[in-house]
Every structure is written in C-alpha cells, then in structure tokens.
A and B are shown apart, each in its own frame.
Chain A
Amino acid sequence: MNLSHHESNGVVVVEVGKGDAVSANAQDFKNRLLEFVENGKRKIAVDLSNIEYIDSSFLGSLVSVLKRITDSDGGVKVFGLAERVRGVFELTRLYKVFDIHDDESSAVKSFTDA
C-alpha cells in the first residue's frame, strides 16, 4: 500500500494511495501509522480520498491506531471519504468513533480547535 505523508501545523497528514483499503494491507497500514506514534507524533489526519473500497479489517486497524494514540492524549481524524466508504463508516457506526472531515484543512484545523 502506498502511503505518503507531510506535516501541517504539527499534524501528520497521511495520504493513503489509490487502491482498496482491505485486509491484505491493513496490518501494513497499522504498523506504519504506529511508527508515527512511536516517534512521538500524536496528531494524525488520514486522507482516504483515493480509496474506493474499505473493509472491516482496515477499519479495525484505524481503530487500533486511534486507541493507541488516544491513550497518549492525541487523536486520529479522517477526511475525504467517498460515498461508499462513508457508508461503511455509517453501517459500522464508526462515524461516532472517528472525527470525520470533508478535507485536509478542516481536519488539521480541528486539532487546534479542540
């Protein structure tokens, strides 16, 4: 899975590359995000705008990272959800767990507003 990242106002913005967010790459995704956490990054915004399909394994990885980062007083936001990806967040009710934003600027700003 292709992941790229940059920092904006102290927030690590992780762009998930084009493809499916599924069990085949969920563990890799989780490990790479946890590397940020281990390196002291506690504010992460995940850009899912390139993703057309997501399964529960990938959502489970996001939950694991959120749990780890929440323990250390940080947060994970997600943004750029396509309609069908947003539908899966709604069916699993994970929209109640994740702070979901339309775009990067809104996600990054939400950390400073908190």
Chain B
Amino acid sequence: MNRADTTRHEMRTSSATENLAKIRRFVRRAAEERDVPEKIVEQMILAVDEAASNIIRHAYRHDPGGEILIAAAFEDDRWIVTLRDRGVGFDPNNVRRPDMATYLKERRVGGLGLHLIRKLMDEVDYESGGDDYNQLTLTKNIAG
C-alpha cells in the first residue's frame, strides 16, 4: 500500500479507567483496515492498553479530567500507534526493568506495564513535553 493511501484513525478520550475498554475497541477497529494477524492485533491492543493505563496512573495521577489522544496508521508493513497526553512526563530509561527474582520480595508491582510494552512491540519511542504533549509511539511490523 502506498503511504499516501494510509487511513489515519484517531480518537480523543479522557483519562478515566473506564475508557480503557473503548481504547481497546478502537485499536481493534483500526486493525480492520489491513489483514493483520490476530496475534499481532492482540499484542497491539495489550500494548496500547498498558500505555493508556500508565498515562492515567502516572501522567495524570488518576485525575479523570486529562486528555488522551490516540492515532493509528499503517506505513507499508508497519503499524504505528501514537498516544499523546498533557500530563507529567517521564524518562523511560529511568524505569527499572522488573527483576522477577526480587519482584515478590520487594512487593514491586510497578514497571510491569512498560516491560510488557517493550516485549510486545518492535519499536517504542517516547518524547516528553515537546509541543506541550508527551508522545509515546508504538510500532509493530505486521508482515510477520
């Protein structure tokens, strides 16, 4: 598919936990444009869900009045989903990769979401504060 033919799907929602189900449905609908293998659809849904959860929990600190913008598009064989927010940014390099050996011992329940996102996606990019937005870009190769 020519890049110019790509349809861009967008959704704007608020940072309420109840909206995560809506976000998951949005990702599934966006996948219908292309013949995306079901396993990859599920991986993208989980990654976007985890990213949106992190925005709600960390960027907006559970304030349901925050704004989340999500866009999904295909570029050749790459499926690219971006999530933007105006909350508190973070440095993903400072998020510890969970060490499961000490995970239980320290009751360390944070960091699992970002760990999952990195495992599920081929590329993960994050920009904090540019253009007043934080932007997380998730990329998955759909060619298999």
**Residues of A bordering B, CB below 8 Å:** 20, 22-24, 53, 55-57, 59-60, 63-64, 66-67, 70, 84, 88, 91-94, 96-97
Please give the distance in Å from B39's CB to the nearest CB on chain A. 8
Q: Is B4 among interface residues, defined by CB-CB distance under 8 A?
A: no
- Size category of the B interface is 20 to 34
Say yes or no: B109 contacts A63, CB within 8 Å: yes
Say yes or no: A63 contacts B104, CB within 8 Å: yes
Q: Is B40 among interface residues, defined by CB-CB distance under 8 A?
A: no
Please give the distance in Å from A27's CB to the nearest CB on chain B. 10
**A–B Cβ pairs within 8 angstroms, 14 of them:** A20-B21, A22-B21, A23-B17, A24-B18, A53-B24, A55-B113, A56-B115, A57-B53, A60-B109, A60-B112, A63-B104, A64-B107, A91-B120, A92-B100
Say yes or no: A97 contacts B100, CB within 8 Å: yes
Say yes or no: A96 contacts B100, CB within 8 Å: yes
Query: What residues of chain B lie closer than 8 Å to A64, measured between beta carbons?
Result: 107, 109
Say yes or no: B17 contacts A66, CB within 8 Å: no
Q: Is B85 among interface residues, defined by CB-CB distance under 8 A?
A: no
Minimal Cβ-Cβ distance residue in A for B108: A63
Say yes or no: A91 contacts B100, CB within 8 Å: no
Say yes or no: B21 contacts A24, CB within 8 Å: yes
Given known contacts A22-B20, A67-B107, A56 and B113 CB-to-CB distance under 8 angstroms = yes
**Residues of B bordering A, CB below 8 Å:** 17-18, 20-21, 24, 42, 45-46, 49-50, 53, 56-57, 98, 100, 103-104, 107, 109-110, 112-113, 115-116, 119-120
Given known contacts A23-B17, A24-B20, A55-B53, A91 and B104 CB-to-CB distance under 8 angstroms = no
User: Can you add 18 more A-B contacts, CB < 8 Å, to A91-B119, A93-B100?
Assistant: A20-B21, A22-B49, A53-B45, A55-B113, A56-B50, A56-B53, A56-B115, A56-B116, A57-B53, A57-B113, A63-B103, A63-B109, A67-B104, A88-B46, A91-B116, A92-B98, A92-B115, A94-B100
Give complex CA distance A84, B19 in Å. 22
Say yes or no: A97 contacts B50, CB within 8 Å: no
